[in-house]
Amino acid sequence: MKISNKQIILDKVINELDRFVIDFTNILKKHTNYVIVSGYVSILFGRTRTTEDIDLLVPKMNLVDFKKLYQDILSNNFWCINAENPEVIYNDYLNKDIAVRFARKDAAVPNMEFKLIRTIVDKTSLKESIEVKIGKNILKISPLEMQIAFKKKILGAPKDMEDARHLEKLFKDSLNMKKLKKYEQMLR
């Protein structure tokens, strides 16, 4: 693994969960920016645990742009678990700060928990995101320091605390402690 300020080059065999994430984010990249947050970040870096969903944040978009994205998602063999009508998804879920879930057709797990960016923490996660390069694939994740702070200060469940410890241990020599403390203050 090679680590720089804005990119991590990860040497790993791509598994089925990684392929799911890569396939979905490759669709997104054609339409909007995004950032992956929460549990999958720890899993990506070798933490052994299961997950049913991958948390993903995207900037606010208008209905026309969402419909284009949604059509592309459908045409690439994914479906929305919450609803079928893009206007319902957009107006009754996303615009009301309710995440929607996308999975491969004929499946419900794993699924992509798709949510519009609303908070300063969400905006910071996107603005300060880092790239993880796996072979020719690139995924955008929130800063590791934000991951650790959020899991410890906001979520706090045993699996979240273990995720945070895993990242702290793995990246102990490259974490920016000033940034970590800044994010911890932001989350109070």
Domain boundaries, the chain: 2-143
Peptide bond into 158 cis (omega under 30): no
Whether the per-residue pLDDT at 4 is higher than 90: the answer is no
Q: How far apart are CA 173 and CA 188, in angstroms?
A: 26
3-state secondary structure of 5: coil
Phi, psi of 61 (to 5 degrees): -140, 160
Mean pLDDT over 8-31 rounds to 97
Q: How large a percentage of the chain has pLDDT more than 70?
A: 100
Q: How far apart are CA 21 and CA 180, in angstroms?
A: 26
CB burial readout 24-59, b (16+ within 10 A) else e: bbebbeebeebbbbbbbbbbbbebeeebebbbbbbe
Mean pLDDT over 163-183 rounds to 96
Is pTM beyond 0.85? Reply is yes
- Length of the chain equals 188
User: What tokens does 96 get?
Assistant: 């009301």
Angle at 24 between CA 21 and CA 25, to 5 degrees: 80
Q: How far apart are CA 69 and CA 185, in angstroms?
A: 35
Amino acid identity of residue 138, one-letter, is: I
Angle at 28 between CA 115 and CA 146, to 5 degrees: 50
Cβ atoms 58, 70 nearer than 8 A = no
User: What tokens does 75 get?
Assistant: 């045409």
CATH says 2-143 is which class?
alpha beta
Give the chain's mean pLDDT.
Answer: 96
Pairing of strands 7-9, 35-37: unpaired
pLDDT at 166: 97
3-state secondary structure of 165: helix
Whether the per-residue pLDDT at 5 is higher than 80: the answer is no
